Amino acid sequence: MKLMVLLPLLFLPAFGQSTNRPNSSPTHGMTTAAPAGSITNYRAATESDRARWFLNSTLGPSRLFLVGPINAGWGTMRDVPSEYGTHWDGFGKRNGMRLTGVATGNLIEAGLGSAWGEDPRYFRSPAHGFGPRMKYVLKTTFLAPHRDGRWHTAYARFVGNVGNNFLSNTWRADSEAHPSDAVVRCVWGVLGRMTSDAFEEFWPDVEQKVLRRR
Please write the tens of the pLDDT for every residue from 73-119: 999 999 999 999 999 999 999 999 999 999 999 999 999 999 999 99
Domain boundaries, the chain: 43-213
Please write the tens of the pLDDT for every residue from 122-143: 999 988 999 999 999 999 999 9
Q: Provide the pLDDT for residue 7.
A: 37
104, 167 in Cβ contact below 8 A? yes
Is 0.85 topped by the overall pTM? no
Q: Provide the pLDDT for residue 28.
A: 43
Tell me the C-alpha distance between 201 and 197, whole Å. Answer: 6
Q: Concatenated DSSP letters for 55-124?
A: HHHHH-HHIIIIIHHHHHHHHHHHTSSGGG-SSHHHHHHHHHHHHHHHHHHHHHHHHHHHHHT-------
Q: Provide the pLDDT for residue 77.
A: 95
Please write the tens of the pLDDT for every residue from 13-22: 333 333 334 3
Q: Provide the pLDDT for residue 139.
A: 95
Question: Has residue 205 got a pLDDT over 70?
Answer: yes
Question: Has residue 197 got a pLDDT over 70?
Answer: yes
202, 137 in Cβ contact below 8 A? no
Please write the tens of the pLDDT for every residue from 157-196: 999 999 999 999 999 999 999 999 999 999 999 999 999 9
Mean pLDDT of all residues in 151-155? 96
